[in-house]
Amino acid sequence: MTHDQSEDPDHGARPAKRAPTARQGPSTGRRRLSQALKAARESAGKTRAEVATAMDWSLSKVIRIEAGTVGISTIDARALTGLYGITEPERVEEILSLARNSRLRTWWSTLRDRVNPSYYAYIGLEDESVEVLYFAPTTLPTLLQTRDFAAGGTSVRPTDEEITVRLRRQQEILNKSRPPRITAIIDEAVLHRIAHAPNRAPEQLSHLLSLSAAPHITIQVLPFSAGPPPVVAPFAILQFPDPEDADVMYVENAVTDEVIDRPEDVRPYLHVFHELRDKALDPAESLAMIKGIVEDG
């Protein structure tokens, strides 16, 4: 099923972004800082082990800083600029500013010791995104789940703590004054599974219909007639207001989860998403299908 591509004339090009914000959020700022410090170290011809020795750090700390999983103080950031031979005042101040920003307190700061590192990184990036693209071949995106469905609508039952975090994410993301634009492509099988499973949560499909009324939420169903999708794992792609911040992909399954920010790895999935969107029912047809399943249930 083809759709109006007026918002995506290149059929895979990114949607228009908002103008860059005056200040980076701590998650995207930390990501830029880690990239800048890694590039500066490599330009200076130093290994991570050499940096760890010079700074009297463990090697794992250097690795975590360059992975963007931890922030860094301005004192340590200034020391690194000296170690890497960065002398231009503007460049030094840019790195110090990113270091200050990476340590700002946020609503998700309290989650650091309560969730795994990949999920923690995703939560922060999701909060600072302007576009979220979901493909849901096996279950619903967590931002669209009701409490009852989150508690019992999947084969892997989450803990009370995990449900609390999901609901807090929903509250913080969906109730923003300027929430991200969310497009979710949901496999038709997921809808029938919700409607007919023994532990069914009947209000979940009605909840999807309510959410779709929001101007920033688009729900499309990938029908059985589209054939099997090219990928079977759910994924989310985050896009940001500043073009310098490359897309991030989050992949989650029963075994592990991972935040992927290498453009060469994310780009193929972005193309897959656009292909799936073309095969999916348009939003009006999708809502009609969901309504029909609710009525038949």
Question: Looking up tokens 């989050």, which residue turns up?
Answer: 250
Structure-token pair, residue 187: 């496999």
CA 265-132-258 angle, to 5 degrees, is 45
Alpha helix positions (H), the chain: 26-43, 48-55, 59-67, 74-83, 89-102, 117-127, 147-152, 160-174, 188-196, 203-211, 263-279, 283-296
Structural domain contains residue 291: yes
C-alpha torsion sign, points 42, 44, 45, 48: negative
Task: Give the alpha-carbon dihedral of 166, 172, 178, 179, to 10 degrees.
Answer: 0
Domain end (from 53, 80, 102):
102
Per-residue pLDDT of the chain (297 residues; tens, 9 = 90+): 444 443 443 444 444 443 334 356 899 989 999 999 999 999 999 999 999 999 999 999 999 899 887 889 999 999 999 999 999 999 999 999 999 988 888 999 888 888 888 899 999 999 999 999 999 999 999 999 998 888 875 556 778 888 999 999 999 999 999 999 999 999 999 999 998 876 666 689 999 999 999 999 999 999 999 999 988 889 999 999 998 899 999 997 666 789 998 999 999 999 999 999 999 999 999 999 999 998 886
Q: What is the pLDDT of residue 16?
A: 41
Domain end (from 102, 127, 158):
102
- How many Å apart are CA 77 and CA 41, to the nearest integer? 12
Structural domain range at position 94: 26-102
Do 203 and 85 have their domain in common? no
- How many Å apart are CA 84 and CA 47, to the nearest integer? 11
Q: In this structure, are residues 111 and 31 in contact, taking their beta carbons and an 8 Å threshold?
A: no
Q: What is the pLDDT of residue 14?
A: 43
CA 274 to chain CA mean position, Å? 17
Do 143 and 50 have their domain in common? no
- Say if pTM beats, i.e. exceeds, 0.85: no
CATH number for the domain that contains residue 94:
1.10.260.40
Structure-token pair, residue 14: 């990114």
- How many Å apart are CA 157 and CA 166, to the nearest integer? 13
Structural domain contains residue 292: yes
Structural domain contains residue 3: no
What's the number of CA atoms in the CB half-sphere (13 Å) around residue 162?
Answer: 13
Structural domain contains residue 69: yes
Do 113 and 214 have their domain in common? yes
Q: What is the pLDDT of residue 150?
A: 84
Question: Structurally, how many domains does the chain consist of?
Answer: 2
Do 192 and 216 have their domain in common? yes
Q: Within 10 Å of residue 184's Cβ, how many Cβ atoms?
A: 23
Do 292 and 188 have their domain in common? yes
Q: What is the pLDDT of residue 11?
A: 43
Do 272 and 152 have their domain in common? yes
Residue 102's alpha-carbon distances to 36, 105, 250, in angstroms, are 13, 9, 21
Do 178 and 273 have their domain in common? yes
For the chain, give me the number of helices (H) and strands (E)? 12, 6
- How many Å apart are CA 93 and CA 114, to the nearest integer? 33
User: Is 18 strand, coil or helix?
Assistant: coil
Structure-token pair, residue 287: 């809502």
Domain end (from 102, 125, 154):
102
